Structure 1
Amino acid sequence: MRGYEGKHWENVPRMERSWSRRKKLERVKKALDKKEKRHRQDTTWYELRVSAMEESERVMKEEMERGTVAKQEMAEWLEQEKKRLAREKLRSDTQKWYALVLVCLSWALVLFCFGISSL
């Protein structure tokens, strides 16, 4: 009767009077503690899972918002790139025309000079 030394046996709870009953009571208490611990772990696991799901939903919403922003930024960038390419193409076309006019004028000058010298 651990914890009840010096007390009269009638004042000791009945379940704790004998060694076998005390052991049985300890086993029951252990089992209840184990069950309670498992329940707390299950509850904690469930709460963690729910919070993880909520967190993933929040992250997905942020990613979607970021994705729409990224899509808009990508569209703007593509539009700017198209404009830049159009300007470069126009510039290269203009340079080609200038080169063609320059070649024609130089040939005209050469022919004019040969024409004058042949007279």
Structure 2
Amino acid sequence: MNEDQVYLEYILDCIDKIKEYSQGGKQEFFANSMISDAIIRRLQTLAESTQRLSEELKANIPDVDWRNISGFRNILVHDYLGGIDLLKMRNFFSSVSGAKNGVEDDYLSNSILVPWQSD
């Protein structure tokens, strides 16, 4: 398994975990610091993981706004004391979550050329 595969699978897992953690909605997010910390941490590592994907893989999945995803990591990491805007975070996750289906479809159907398919 190469690095792209490891990171892509981790990104997809993060999306699933965030969906699971956020089932209680906005109220639980603000009331339960373990939930909010877990969601924010997953968003950070998800965004960081996109920076580690090869340019070849990103070029083969052009529907995903890779630059926006990796840029959001900087907001989460550097603006944590300024308060993280929940609406921005929700919009960000919605865009990432929406892209998940396309990535999974391409990844699972082998309709995109990714380096590990020849392994």
Q: Same fold (TM over 0.5)?
A: no
Q: TM-score range by the shorter chain?
A: under 0.3
State the structure with bigger RCO (CA 8 A, min sep 6), 1 or 2: 2
The higher radius of gyration belongs to 1
Tell me which protein shows more helix as a share of its residues. 1
Q: TM-score, normalised by structure 2?
A: 0.21
